[in-house]
Amino acid sequence: MCGKENRLPQFETIVDVDRYQAKFIDEHQKNKFAFQEGILSLCYKRFKYPINIQH
């Protein structure tokens, strides 16, 4: 599921990742593709900033 990080823009900070994901989901809340992009964003966040993810 997390194998497509290269499809996402390059983010400078974790804040940029959060902003991108929030914007994407806000604009396309009922769109399945947007949901998938949101998942990719979460995967990217785990991939690039593993220390910042605490669940």
Is 32 a domain residue? Answer: yes
Is 55 a domain residue? Answer: no
Is 54 a domain residue? Answer: no
pLDDT value of residue 42: 72
Residue 23: what are its φ and ψ, rounded to 5°?
-60, -45
Tokens of 16: 């940029």
Is 40 a domain residue? Answer: yes
* Number of separate domains in the chain: 1
Is 35 a domain residue? Answer: yes
Is 10 a domain residue? Answer: yes
pLDDT digits (tens, 9 = 90+) for 12-55: 777 887 887 777 766 656 566 666 666 777 767 666 666 554 54
CA separation for the pair 16, 23 (Å, rounded) = 10
Question: Treating both helix axes as pointing N-terminal to C-terminal, what angle do 14-27 and 32-48 enclose, rounded to 10 degrees?
Answer: 170
Residue recorded with tokens 């994901």 = 21
What is the extent of the structural domain holding 26? Answer: 5-49
Is 42 a domain residue? Answer: yes
